[in-house]
Amino acid sequence: MIEGEWKSDGLDANGKATWNLESVEGGQGHVLSMDVTGGSPMNLCYSLEEVPTRYFFRVEILKKSSRSDSFSVGVVRLSEFKKGWGTKGMFYNGNLTNGSSALKVGYGPYLKESDSITLEYVELEDKYQVKIQVNGTELGTSFEISRNGASDEAFVPCLHVQGGLRVRAIAQTESPVLESTTPQVPSLSGDWALVEAFEAPQGTKRIWPLNAQTTELQQNSPVPTATVHFEATNTDEGLEHWMVVLKVYNTIRIIRQIVECPSDDGESGFAIKIPTGVPPGTMSTKMMPPQPFGQIELKLSQIFGSNWKMLRMANGNALAVLSDDGTLLASLERQQYYVTGGPCTSYQ
């Protein structure tokens, strides 16, 4: 672990933000508990005694009080470490930001409880680089800042927080490996693209994607991307309660128990159950989409509301949605994030 000192931006002085620091045994970083209310975020930086020309800053999210809480991980110069929105640096929270403004939207997955984020900071002769890894997935070089005519001041690790969070953070000259202190989230968690869907319960009539004739009739109605998001909502009960969010035009939410059941053929299987006290159907926003998308959403709601009973995963990236007799109702593919246009060359 690189030696340093955690410092706040002073927002906690007015009583709207609090934070607490604990050391982890064996030099495995620090645990920070943060509670920030009001309109401004709080920034915490790790002021390094000596800044290496290459280091890794890894953060594991142990607890996130609400999905609406905002959390960014980045690096800043101490001269640009200011109170609240005044801090400017190179940050990641699903988007690339400078601490107050989004620079690239949808750069990678948004951060949630149990995620691990690693920033690799590299200081070269002519530029500074920041590379990002989320849950073991490389997102590439995110920032590449020229040193020509710029300050030679190095960057140090920084956290940008709104809401209630508890994290473990460590800065090292070698890529850190942290033993997780949180329950392991099954590989089901995350974003999936809807590849194909069939009308329930028979599973013979395809309803997604649209056939060529239907697409031609709907030239004036843009065809949306259909996605399904799986997120564990109750880690105190073995990650069995999940929020499943289906998006086409409307956002459709379903709460289910999803119990992992490994199969003999090496594929991951999951059983779908309705938790006690939870309605069997779905909850949806009320936007009126153009046809045929209204009917498609209704049929997808039937699949995920009452007809699906099992999931079968292959190679970690393909997911089959099955009825109780094994009929294929839908196919999902893990959503990949493709970084285009190169890294951000400025954060100002």
Q: Is it the case that residue 178 has pLDDT exceeding 50?
A: no
Q: Of all residues in the chain, what percent carry a pLDDT higher than 70?
A: 86
Question: What pLDDT is attached to residue 1?
Answer: 86
Q: Is it the case that residue 139 has pLDDT exceeding 80?
A: yes
Contacts of 244 (CB under 8 A, 6+ apart): 228, 229, 230, 231, 253, 254, 255, 256, 304
Q: Is it the case that residue 163 has pLDDT exceeding 80?
A: yes
Domain boundaries, the chain: 4-172, 190-334
Q: Is it the case that residue 216 has pLDDT exceeding 60?
A: no
pTM higher than 0.85, yes or no?
A: no
Q: Is it the case that residue 183 has pLDDT exceeding 50?
A: no
Write the single-letter amino acid at 43.
Answer: N
Q: Is it the case that residue 61 has pLDDT exceeding 90?
A: yes
Question: What pLDDT is attached to residue 220?
Answer: 55
pLDDT tens profile 275-284: 888 878 899 9
Contacts of 253 (CB under 8 A, 6+ apart): 243, 244, 245, 246, 282, 283, 284
What is the CATH topology of the domain spanning 190-334? Lipocalin (2.40.128)
Buried b / exposed e along 36-46 (16+ C-beta atoms within 10 A): beeebbbbbbb
Residue 187 near residue 316, CB atoms below 8 Å: yes
Residue 63 near residue 166, CB atoms below 8 Å: yes
Q: Is it the case that residue 179 has pLDDT exceeding 70?
A: no
What is the CATH topology of the domain spanning 4-172? Jelly Rolls (2.60.120)
Q: Is it the case that residue 157 has pLDDT exceeding 90?
A: yes
Question: What pLDDT is attached to residue 38?
Answer: 80
Q: Is it the case that residue 191 has pLDDT exceeding 90?
A: no
Residue 109 CA from chain centroid, whole number:
4
pLDDT tens profile 224-234: 789 999 887 76
Q: Which secondary-structure segment (H or E) carries 61?
A: strand 54-64
Lowest mean pLDDT among 56-70, 194-208, 263-277: 263-277
Q: How confident is the model at residue 241 (pLDDT cuts 50, 70, 90)?
A: confident
Q: Is it the case that residue 80 has pLDDT exceeding 90?
A: yes
